[in-house]
Amino acid sequence: MQLSARNMLAGKVKSITYGAVNNEIVIELEGGQEVVSIITKSSTERLGLAEGKSVYAVVKASSVMVAVDD
């Protein structure tokens, strides 16, 4: 697999919340942090996603904002 996105985070599917059109996929990373993604039901099925499956969270963004507390 090769992608143009530079941010690929390895993890495992922690949970899937099924919706009418989209599903919420919670991915647990190696350090225990979680990444949540909303994808279509058809993508969930096509990828064969299930709890415990090894996956990558791929992040592609054109900008990253930085904030601080006052």
Q: How far apart are CA 61 and CA 20, in angstroms?
A: 27
Could you say which DSSP state residue 70 is in? -
Quote the pTM value.
0.84
List of domains in the chain: 7-58 (2.40.50.100)
- The set of residues, in sequence order, having a beta carbon less than 8 Å from that of 44 and lying 6+ positions away, is 16, 18, 23, 25
For range 33-38, the mean pLDDT: 93
DSSP string, 3-68: -S-SEEEEEEEEEEEE-SSEEEEEEEETTS-EEEEEEEHHHHHHTT--TT-EEEEEE--S------
Mean pLDDT of 24-50: 95
pLDDT at residue 2, as a whole number: 82
